Amino acid sequence: MEKLPKIGLPIIVFLVIGIIIISKSVVTIDSGHAGVLYTLSGGVDAESEPLGEGINFVAPWNSVIDYEVRQQEIPERMSVLSSNGLDIQLDASVLYQPDIKNLAKLHKEKGVNYVSRVLQPAIRSAARSVVGRYTPEQLYSSKRDAIQEEIFSETQKIVGPQYIQLNSILIRDVTLPPTIKQAIERKLKQEQESLEYEFRLVTAQKEAEKQRIEAQGKADANRILSASLTDKILQDKGIEATIKLSESSNSKVIVIGSGDSGMPIILGNQ
């Protein structure tokens, strides 16, 4: 009976150690995440494949660094200067994710703080460079899409070789100094009013031209008609009209040859 506790104690200790080893050897990676293996003997192998989702078995003396590999978003509010030296505030959203194929290299060279070490400085540098080429008016109105694309392109050149996948940069808002914004809005309003006036003027000119052409056409038609009407034709037309009236059932008196140019006079409906 005294031997049982002595035999059971090592077994219990062995079981506890085994449980600890197993728990340290099993690493679960959540959905949308990946792991970088750090070995006690050699650290991070830059050429190693990342550990995928689910259960992964590793040696208990090694560790796994967890990375989210889904698309993520960081808001950026930047103060930059326009081409004429005015202070401009840009509000942007940056959509990014780590390059999962090179996750080990990213961790080895940049670390888990790669966003603040690489991505944010690259965005700010690109924004200052791009915005410095444009005037406040261009930033406020016509060039916003072009500026957005240029900032993305220049940022991509910086972060792409550093194992960061840049998906998009969206300019949410451009804030100008109040006096500059008001001046631009007045100018845009005046330009719009000028365009509307020009449109009305062109429309009126087209309508006047249309009426002139119609009037000219009528004048030409009347001139041609007048030139073609002779006294003989008018007499023939008058005779035809007199014959049709004489055949009418309405009461009338026709005096033959008593009108001008020998045309009959018609008396009736009295």
Instruction: Please tell me whether residues 149 and 193 are part of one structural domain.
Output: no
> In this predicted structure, what is the pLDDT of residue 115?
94
Mean pLDDT, residues 84-111 taken together: 90
Q: Is the dihedral of CA 186, 190, 196, 199 positive or negative?
A: negative
CA dihedral 241, 243, 247, 252 (to 10 degrees): 80
Is residue 176 a contact partner of residue 184, using CB atoms and an 8 Å limit? yes
Percentage of the chain lying above the pLDDT 90 cut = 27
Rounded Cα distance between 140 and 176, Å, is 8
The rounded mean pLDDT for the chain is 78
**Same domain for 220 and 198:** yes
Cα three-residue angle 127-151-176, rounded to 5 degrees: 50
pLDDT band at 1 (very low <50, low <70, confident <90, very high): very low
Judge whether residue 228 has pLDDT over 80. no
Backbone φ/ψ region at 49: left (φ over 0), alpha (ψ -120 to 50), beta: beta
Is 84 found in the same domain as 166?
Answer: yes
226 or 126, greater pLDDT = 126
- Is 102 found in the same domain as 51? no
User: Between the ranges 58-72, 186-200, 217-231, where is the mean pLDDT highest?
Assistant: 58-72
pLDDT value for 270: 43
Of 68, 95, 116, which one is at a domain's C-terminal end? Answer: 68
Q: Distance between alpha carbon 86 and the CA centroid of its chain, in Å?
A: 26
Shared-domain flag, residues 115 and 167: yes
In this prediction, residue 180 carries a pLDDT of 66
Q: Residue type for 77, please?
A: R
Residue 233 lies in a domain: no
| Co-location of 106 and 39 in the same domain | no
pLDDT at 174: 82
Rg of the chain, C-alpha, whole Å: 47
pLDDT, position 166: 95
Residue 118: which domain range? 72-176
**SS3 label, residue 213:** helix
- Please state the length of the chain: 270
Highest average pLDDT, of 18-32, 51-65, 159-173, 256-270, comes from 159-173
The winner for highest mean pLDDT among 3-12, 26-35, 52-61 is 26-35
Per-residue tokens: 112: 């888990």
**Between 79 and 159, where is the model more confident?**
159
What's the confidence (pLDDT) of residue 20?
A: 62
Same domain? For 171 and 187 the reply is no
